[in-house]
Amino acid sequence: MIYEDRIETDLEAKAKKFQAKTFTVRDLDKDMLLTMPFDYPERKTLVEMSCDEFTCLCPFSGLPDFARIVISYVPARKLIEMKSLKYYLYAFRNLKVYNEHAVNKIMDDLKKTLSPREITVTGYFTSRGGITNKVTASYIAGKSKKAKVKSKK
């Protein structure tokens, strides 16, 4: 093999523990997401990243779901380290999770890790049975949007 002497990093090992088994989002370790300081917290800087090779498993059928994940955020004090993000997203490969839950899990984990001013995560899931699925989850610091459920009396 070409890379026989290559030493596997801790991040790779954490991501690879998900290979050849299926898991749920509760098993995913958000601690693999690493950060670095943002030197311009006074500026509103938009950071946008995308991953065209995101996959997860449908919990109903076990079939793979493929998506393009787009992450946009305005950092406050921290930036995401992109290699750690790559391995974090790679760990979804054998997770049984609905599309809507995957996007919200990614947004929640990044929100907890980065404490950004705002963040939006969008998943563009490929066609399944002739239906495509676009899921967007957003958060803006200081604006809590709790859904109000009205009961019929």
Catalytic site residue from 39, 65, 108, 109: 65
Catalytic site residue from 31, 51, 56, 58: 58
- Smallest CA-to-CA distance from 28 within 73, 90, 112, 111 is with 90
User: Which H/E stretch holds residue 128?
Assistant: strand 118-128
Q: Could you confirm whether 56 is annotated as catalytic?
A: no
Place of tokens 């290979």: 19
Q: Is 49 exposed, middle or buried (0-12, 13-18, 19+ CB in 10 A)?
A: middle
Q: Could you confirm whether 39 is annotated as catalytic?
A: no
- Smallest CA-to-CA distance from 70 within 122, 115, 107 is with 122
Cβ atoms 38, 91 nearer than 8 A: no
Question: Facing residues of 138 across strands?
Answer: 120
Active site residues: 58, 65
